[in-house]
């Protein structure tokens, strides 16, 4: 027999066993809100845990640094480990080296490099790389500089900083060559002088405190860096957040044409220029050298389309962007406008030699 009892349906408003539609919807909303709150709480806990771990890591690093500053054997051990790729990759030992950036005062050390020594400051990035990692911040550019220089050559370094290029070039030119290093900042100049003495290269390295510019024997403002981790960004051009109008020194200027005439320098085999935006001012003071092409090669920090670049092209030089990450040279016509970095310029007849010695890309590059 078929039962005549009423069968409940979903849309029966009198059925007490099935909650109304709006009650079920409200319950789903409440559930979603609860899950979202739980997710937010978990994210907050995760961020707090990460922050705690980073704080702990920083505290441990600074603690090891404090001990390293007291115990030379510990710091020497860290330095040797930092020069081993596996220790940097798996032990993350380089984190301890970077912890020196938090030091409030200069930490001067004598860095051992290939064939020479340098006095450096471990509270700056450049000092950390030279001392702990045994290399420059610009390894490919340094390789190019070393390759282009021969024993007996004459080189000039404008913006010598702690001397990474000055002494690399001095090691390459040997006892029969000469390197002239220009550094107008007194603190950095004193480090350079100590490095000359440490290597006993008084006859090989000539230091000058002039700021190289368009004219000689003037007093120009050199705005000093406010970044304690990078004193090398001092410039005669006021730019960026680290330079301030009321923080400057006034070194005497020197035009390189005048200097080379006084020193009877006929040919400069390599000129390195890193003076933070004042490159064109320096090039204006060496136009005779450039137009007579008495400078074989230039490594200069600049941007494509700059006045400095145009002056070099007008003087018959050819240029390439030094792609530090890819380890190759990029012709100027393959670059985006305003591409900033290190560039190699050389006399046109040397272009084929450059192509033989270094990897040169010919496709258009999107490098900024």
DSSP readout, 128-148? HIIIIISS-S-HHHHHHHHHH
Region 198-209: mean pLDDT is 97
**pLDDT score for 128:** 94
How does strand 340-347 pair with strand 295-303? Answer: antiparallel
CB neighbours (10 Å) of residue 206? Answer: 16
- The structure tokens listed for 355 are 């192509």
Higher pLDDT, 184 or 67: 184
Higher pLDDT, 67 or 240: 240
For the chain, list the domains and their CATH numbers.
36-98 (no CATH), 112-357 (3.40.50.150)
Q: Is the pLDDT of residue 118 over 70?
A: yes
Higher pLDDT, 358 or 212: 212
DSSP class per residue in 315-354: TTEEEEEEETTTTEEEEGGGS-TT-EEEEEEEEGGGHHHH
Q: Is the pLDDT of residue 366 over 60?
A: no
Spatial separation of the C-alpha atoms in residues 61 and 100, rounded to whole Å = 9
What average pLDDT does the chain have?
85
**pLDDT score for 10:** 46
SS3 121: strand
Higher pLDDT, 157 or 13: 157
Sign of CA dihedral 140, 122, 223, 263: negative
| Percent share of the chain, pLDDT over 70 | 80
Helix (H) or strand (E) holding 345: strand 340-347
Which of 131, 186, 197, 122 is closest to 164 using CA atoms?
Answer: 131
Sign of CA dihedral 50, 54, 55, 59: positive
Q: Is the pLDDT of residue 125 over 80?
A: yes
**pLDDT score for 102:** 85
Spatial separation of the C-alpha atoms in residues 179 and 155, rounded to whole Å = 5
How does strand 116-121 pair with strand 154-158? Answer: unpaired
Which of 269, 318, 311 is closest to 286 using CA atoms?
Answer: 311
Spatial separation of the C-alpha atoms in residues 279 and 310, rounded to whole Å = 12
- The structure tokens listed for 330 are 């990029």
**pLDDT score for 58:** 56
Band of residue 1 on the pLDDT scale cut at 50, 70, 90: very low
Q: Is the pLDDT of residue 27 over 70?
A: no
What's the first-to-final CA gap in the chain, in angstroms?
A: 86
Spatial separation of the C-alpha atoms in residues 316 and 348, rounded to whole Å = 7
**pLDDT score for 142:** 95
How does strand 253-254 pair with strand 211-212? Answer: parallel
CB neighbours (10 Å) of residue 134? Answer: 15
Strand partners, 254: 212
Q: Is the pLDDT of residue 139 over 80?
A: yes
What single-letter DSSP state applies at residue 7?
P
Least confident of 52-66, 73-87, 193-207, 297-311: 52-66
**pLDDT score for 363:** 58
Q: Where are the alpha helices (DSSP H) in 110-185?
A: 125-128, 139-148, 164-173
Q: What pTM was estimated for this model as a whole?
A: 0.81
Band of residue 227 on the pLDDT scale cut at 50, 70, 90: confident
- The structure tokens listed for 1 are 């027999």
């Amino acid at each position: 027999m078929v039962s005549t009892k009423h069968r409940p349906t979903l849309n029966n408003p009198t059925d007490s066993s099935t909650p109304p539609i709006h009650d079920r919807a409200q319950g789903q909303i409440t559930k979603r809100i609860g899950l979202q709150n739980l997710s937010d709480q978990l994210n907050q806990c995760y961020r707090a845990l990460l922050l705690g771990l980073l704080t702990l890591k920083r505290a441990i690093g600074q603690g090891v640094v404090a001990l390293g500053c007291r115990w030379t054997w510990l710091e020497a051990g860290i330095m040797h480990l930092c020069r081993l790729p596996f220790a940097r990759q798996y032990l993350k030992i380089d984190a301890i080296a970077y912890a020196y950036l938090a030091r409030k005062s200069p930490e001067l050390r004598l860095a051992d490099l290939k064939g020479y020594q340098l006095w450096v400051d471990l509270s700056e990035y450049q000092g950390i790389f030279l001392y702990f990692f045994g290399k420059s911040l610009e390894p490919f550019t340094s390789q190019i500089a070393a390759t282009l220089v021969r024993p007996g050559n004459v080189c000039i370094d404008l913006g010598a900083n702690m001397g990474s290029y000055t002494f690399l070039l001095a090691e390459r030119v040997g006892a029969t060559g000469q390197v002239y290093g220009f550094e107008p900042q007194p603190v950095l100049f004193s480090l350079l002088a100590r490095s000359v003495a440490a290597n006993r290269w008084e006859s090989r390295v000539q230091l000058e405190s002039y700021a190289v510019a368009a004219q000689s024997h003037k007093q120009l403002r050199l705005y000093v860096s406010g970044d304690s981790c990078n004193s090398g960004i001092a410039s005669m051009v006021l730019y960026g957040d680290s330079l301030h109008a009321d923080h400057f020194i006034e070194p005497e200027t020197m035009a390189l044409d005048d200097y080379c005439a006084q020193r009877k320098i006929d040919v400069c085999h390599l000129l390195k220029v890193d003076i933070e935006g004042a490159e064109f001012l320096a090039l204006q003071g060496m136009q005779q050298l450039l137009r007579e092409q008495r400078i074989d090669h230039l490594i200069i920090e600049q941007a494509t389309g700059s006045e400095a670049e145009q002056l070099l092209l007008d003087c018959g030089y050819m240029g390439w962007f030094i792609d530090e990450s890819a380890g190759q040279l990029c012709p100027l016509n393959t670059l985006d406008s305003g591409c900033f970095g290190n560039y190699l310029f050389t006399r046109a007849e040397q272009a084929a030699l450059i192509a033989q010695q270094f990897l040169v890309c010919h496709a258009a590059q999107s490098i900024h």
